[in-house]
Amino acid sequence: MSSAPPSLLMVDDEPELRTLLAEYFGKQGFAVDTAADAAAARQRFAAAPPAVAILDVHMPGEDGLSLARWIREHHPATGIVMLTTAAEAMDRIIGLEVGADDYVPKPFELRELLARVKSLLRRLAPASNGEAGAPPAAAAKAVRFGQCLLHLDERRLVGADGVEIALTASEFDLLALFARAPNRPLNRDQIMEQAHNRGWDVFDRSIDLRIMRLRRKIERNPDKPEVIKTVRNVGYVFVSS
């Protein structure tokens, strides 16, 4: 039995771009739906949350950043790719802060956007079958730190109360990277190298933003981190229990 095609929601106020992307991704084996604005996108989510949502940042009414924040809060399993113009660095930073997994600057090549979406789907998929090239420490099933338990094979983070803590695909990848190198300082170059290997489009500032977001979720006091600590003039270190 063949598996269902991955679902994709394209949200953009430009009808020509929606039509182009729907046709292109449809030919690539995706089940594509489109929405012209945030209100229509919410209706699509009410019917069936997609695996990945591609959101334009600038839309009339509610913008893509606000929609991304809503998706992350109510549908944490959906991957989010933001579309921005090349000059909108601030939009990309805010997008990462609200929970976007990746961004693609306009204008873009269709093949690049396809590669980003496929990479995100791989990161969202359960890692129970293992990952080629992963370090030996990746064989561990779970890592405990503080009052949390990180299930590496299931890609889940569970808090002290037994409730799952929602993580984006990139947040999980970053936390797993630290968990597989406990008590070993990692500099930004090392983190960015691993990030590029996983298909992230990262820059120095985005690493700090992702770590800041992780601290908000896993630290008792994000301003005084006990799990992911800053190592002055080096980078960061994950302190295991």
String of DSSP letters for 42-92: HHHHHH---SEEEEES--SSS-HHHHHHHHHHH-TTSEEEEEEETT-HHHH
Domain boundary residue, one of 89, 124, 159 = 124
Helix (H, G, I), strand (E, B) or coil at 199: coil
Say if residue 117 is in the same domain as residue 179.
no
Q: Is residue 23 located within the same domain as residue 112?
A: yes
Claim to verify: residue 93 and residue 37 sit in the same structural domain: yes
In the chain, the number of structural domains is: 2
* Residue ranges with strand state E in 155-215: 156-158, 186-187
Backbone angles phi, psi at 199, to 5 degrees: 90, 5
Say which residue, 147 or 3, is predicted with more confidence.
147
| Helix (H) or strand (E) run with residue 181 in it | none
For residues 59 and 165, state if they share a domain.
no
The predicted pLDDT at position 147 comes to 78
**Given pLDDT bands bounded at 50, 70 and 90, which one contains residue 183?**
confident
> Are residues 98 and 161 part of one domain?
no
Q: What is the CATH number of the domain that holds 173?
A: 1.10.10.10
Q: What is the pLDDT of residues 31-47, one digit of tens each?
A: 999 999 999 999 999 99
Same domain, 164 and 189: yes
pLDDT tens digits for 117-137?
A: 998 888 777 533 333 333 434
Residue at 213 is within a domain? yes
- Helix H or strand E segment including 179: helix 169-179
- Which of these three, 99, 124, 149, is where a domain ends? 124
Q: Is 26 helix (H, G, I), strand (E, B) or coil?
A: helix
The span from the CA of 36 to the CA of 8, in Å, is: 14
> Residue 163: pLDDT above 90?
no
Say whether both 173 and 101 belong to one domain. no
Among 124, 147, 177, where does a domain finish?
124
Please enumerate in sequence order all residues whose Cβ is within 8 A of that of 23, keeping only pairs 6 or more positions apart, or say none. Answer: none
The parent domain of residue 79 ranges over 7-124
Q: Which two tokens stand for residue 175?
A: 């936390």
Are residues 112 and 69 both part of a single domain? Answer: yes
Q: Is residue 1 part of a domain?
A: no
**Is a pLDDT exceeding 80 seen at residue 206?**
no
87 and 113 share one domain: yes
Half-sphere exposure of 182 (CA within 13 A, CB side): 13
Q: What is the pLDDT of residue 203?
A: 56
**In terms of domains, do 61 and 170 share one?**
no
Q: How many CB atoms lie within 10 A of CB 221?
A: 8
Whether residue 42 lies inside any domain: the answer is: yes
d(CA 155, CA 171): 10
Peptide linkage before 107 cis (omega within 30 of 0)? yes
Say what the pTM is.
Answer: 0.62
Cα distance between residue 216 and residue 228, in whole Å: 11
**Same structural domain, 93 and 179:** no
Q: For residues 141 and 148, is the Cβ–Cβ distance under 8 A?
A: no
* CATH code of the domain containing 79: 3.40.50.2300
Query: pLDDT higher for 237 or 196?
Result: 237
pLDDT of residue 130: 38
pLDDT at 2: 52
Q: What does the angle CA 15 – CA 202 – CA 141 come to, to the nearest 5 degrees?
A: 105
Q: At residue 211, does pLDDT exceed 60? A: yes
Confidence of residue 138 (pLDDT cuts 50, 70, 90): very low
Residue 2 lies in a domain: no
The pair of structure tokens assigned to 79 is: 């991957």
Does 154 map to a domain?
Answer: yes
Residue at 130 is within a domain: no
Work out whether strand 102-106 and strand 79-85 pair parallel, antiparallel, or are unpaired: parallel
Same structural domain, 14 and 35: yes
The predicted structure's pLDDT at residue 88:
59
Calpha distance 117→115 (Å, rounded): 6
